[in-house]
Every structure is written in C-alpha cells, then in structure tokens.
Copies of this chain bind each other. A is one copy, B any other.
C-alpha cells in the first residue's frame, strides 16, 4: 500500500502505516538534517523553529493533528526547520520517494499534496499581512481564534482550551516579546473579553470576540 494514499486525512479510524511516537520536548527532525519525507500529524502538537545564522530562533508554526509537515525539506533535500514536540505526539511518516512514484498511478493524492502546500503558501501571505498591519492585541486575538478553531476541529470546546506553548513561544511566533504577550493577555482579561489562567484560555464571549477581531485576515 502506498504511503501517500493516507493523505486523504483525517482518517484516524484506519490504523496508519508506520505510526511514530515523539515524546514531549523531543525533536522529530532538525534543521540541516537530510530530508527523507513528510509526516502526517495524527495527535499532539509540535513547534516548527527556524534558526537564524546568528543563533536567534523564530517559531514558524504550531502543527497539530491533521497537518502535514516537512515541506520545507523539499527544496534542497535538507530540513529547513527543527520540529519539536510540545506534548506527546504521534506522526505517520510519508516517504518522499513514493510521492514521486505515486504520480504515475493516480493524480488525486498529488492534487491533495499540492493543495496542502498551497495552503501553507497562502497562510504565509495572511501571516505577512497580519504582521504588517496588526498591533499586539490583534495579533494575539487572531492567534487565539486560530487555536480555538483548530481545537474545535479536534472535537474540543472552541471556548475553553489549553495552550500547549509558552508565552515566549507565542511571542516568537507572533513577533513580539514574551512580556507583551503576557501584558496583552492581562489587558484582554481586564476588559472582560476572556479568562486566562496560565495556559488555559476561556473565551467566555465567543461571539463578541469574533465580531471584534474576526474581520482580520
């Protein structure tokens, strides 16, 4: 059975081929390592970190169940980011060689793969716009709405969920300091827009929150 056929996600009922477990804090693949294939995330959460030449680091994404990761390695056969698990995580490897071979038999998974990559590109555009136009409050709000939507898609409540990442990681991702993230959380709570207790977030007024910030990218 071809690995790529598993790309018609989500299908967690079917026992996936070659399931792989990554414990919290462990690295799935590291920047600079040779690229062998993609991974479909089955459960858990990871962070994708891009290390700059001068040692500084940038969180690029927080992939979770349903996402396919590793595209940045396609360019020159080397992983462009380091992928670390934020909690215990299960991934299904998709060998890259089989992707090219697959092209000969069926074009639909190919189309799917392209759509996934295109989605990553589009996400980059909206994020570019977000960083360009939005202030700290809008950035954090968009992040929370995104988290809410994604946890909702996992079957959790969209109004009450647990963040898997630290303030510093959120800050790196949103391009603002850890302190500003914390202050913005506090400010939103003071205004009654949400309740926050450490990493637990409760969007008590989901409708109002969405109305206030939903118009952004």
Q: Which residues of A does B touch, CB under 8 Å? A: 50, 52-54, 56, 58, 60, 71-75, 80-81, 99-101, 103-104, 107, 110-111, 113-115, 117-129, 131-133, 172, 175, 215-217
By a CB distance below 8 angstroms, the chain B residues around A128 are: 50, 58, 60, 124, 127-128, 131, 175
**What separation, in Å, do the CA atoms of A216 and B53 have in the docked complex?**
7
Given contacts A71-B118, A123-B124, 8 further A-B contacts (CB under 8 A): A53-B215, A60-B128, A74-B117, A75-B115, A75-B122, A103-B110, A121-B124, A131-B175
Taking a contact as CB atoms under 8 Å apart, the answer to whether B71 and A217 are in contact is no
- Shortest C-beta distance, A105 to chain B (Å), equals 8
- Shortest C-beta distance, A33 to chain B (Å), equals 15
28 examples of A-B residue contacts, CB within 8 angstroms:
A50-B129, A52-B217, A54-B215, A58-B125, A58-B128, A58-B132, A72-B118, A72-B122, A74-B114, A74-B115, A75-B118, A75-B119, A75-B122, A80-B125, A99-B114, A100-B110, A100-B111, A103-B103, A103-B104, A103-B107, A103-B110, A104-B107, A114-B114, A117-B118, A120-B124, A121-B121, A121-B124, A124-B128
* Residue among A56, A100, A103, A107 with the highest chain B CB neighbour number at 10 A: A103
By a CB distance below 8 angstroms, the chain B residues around A175 are: 128, 131-133
- Shortest C-beta distance, A155 to chain B (Å), equals 24
- Shortest C-beta distance, A98 to chain B (Å), equals 11
Instruction: Find the B residue at minimum CB distance from A75.
Output: B118
Cβ-neighbour of A72 out of B50, B121, B131, B216 (below 8 A): B121
Instruction: Find the B residue at minimum CB distance from A73.
Output: B118
By a CB distance below 8 angstroms, the chain B residues around A133 are: 52, 56, 58, 175
Instruction: Find the B residue at minimum CB distance from A99.
Output: B114
**What separation, in Å, do the CA atoms of A111 and B101 have in the docked complex?**
10
- Shortest C-beta distance, A1 to chain B (Å), equals 19
